[in-house]
Amino acid sequence: MLAESVTAARSATEQDDPRRHSFAWVSLDDASDSEIDQVADIVGLDDLLLEDAVSPQQRAKIESRPDEVFFILKSLIWIAETQDVETGQVAVFIGPGYAVTRLTGTGFDTTQIRQRLRENADLHGAGPMSVAWAIADIAVDGYLEVGESIESEIEQIEEDLFAEIPADLASRIYRLNRENIEMRRAVRPLLPIATRLTQGFQPGIPTPLQSFFQDIGDHVLRANDMVDAYDTALMTMLMASTARQDLQQNRDMRKIAAWAAIIAVPTAIAGIYGMNFDEMPELHWSFGYPLVLAVMAGICLILYRAFKRSDWI
């Protein structure tokens, strides 16, 4: 059935047929190896590109040929419960009368793509590139949504960072930076084509889709700006968190040192009298004991007030 739909669509585009604007969209998400090979033979997919399409670890890229376009996009989705970014992948082959896609992982599915195409039914006349637009539009919208979620987390970390009682935020910042790196891996390879798309007309893109792809290019550039801004913000917050933690540790050390100095006074005096020398006149004086206690308390009070004024306590 896959083979018949692709063959019919290619015949319609190659001949003077009233269906010449029709095309076949074949999704290989759940296809068996034999079905993938069958579609690849009929359409004439490049073996190396097909190998990239089935590899979930492939880097995002776009390759354009005279009558064919192949691209791989990373799909991103924010998991609020764990504050993680889950990554998927979509590979798309566009050629005369056909669009072949393969989705791997999370991010979106063919139902979303169909819904986007139904919402823009007037673009069907642009041929299989309309499928490419729908997929790219959904993927790029996902980048912006993830970027907004990361921004929200950054704002929360900023509030916690400058709270009256600072928390240890280093692990949260490192983890959020890791998710930002996932976003960078998805967005950064698309910058060259995004820049060209925002500049206007691009060969190979039907006229009805020009403005739509231009909007996608603009969104990719926005997502990249988010990545750069978040990278700088997270690095700054990590430095601020470390500096504030060091400052708090210094304050704690000053308090410990101040109280140790205060406690050292009665400890030293008690140690002297604890040596049990008999020739100490105040030992035989009725006011000797309270006087020594008063001297201890007085010196401790003086030290306490001095440390308090210097903000050591």
CATH 1.20.58.340 residue ranges of the chain are 250-309
Return phi, psi of residue 16, to 5°.
Answer: -80, 80
Alpha helix (H) residue ranges in the chain: 2-14, 33-43, 47-53, 110-119, 129-161, 170-187, 191-198, 210-273, 288-309
Segments of the chain assigned to CATH 3.30.460.20: 2-246
220 pLDDT band, cuts 50/70/90, is very high
Q: Which residues pair with 102 in a beta bridge?
A: 91
Largest CA distance in the chain: 127
Average pLDDT over every residue of 224-242 = 89
At 216, phi and psi to the nearest 5? -60, -45
Q: Going by CATH, does the domain composed of 250-309 fall within 1.20.58.340?
A: yes
The string of pLDDT tens digits covering residues 33-73 is 787 888 888 888 888 888 888 777 788 888 887 778 888 99
Identity of residue 55: S
pLDDT in tens, 73-124: 998 999 888 888 888 888 899 988 888 888 887 767 788 888 888 888 888 7
Whether residue 150 contacts residue 176, with contact meaning beta carbons closer than 8 Å, is answered with yes
pLDDT at 15: 43
Query: Distance from first CA to last CA of the chain, Å, rounded?
Result: 81
Percent of the chain with pLDDT over 70: 88
Global pTM reads: 0.74
Backbone angles phi, psi at 64, to 5 degrees: -120, 135
Class at the top of the CATH hierarchy for domain 2-246: alpha beta
Q: What is the dihedral of CA 109, 197, 53, 117, to 10 degrees?
A: 30
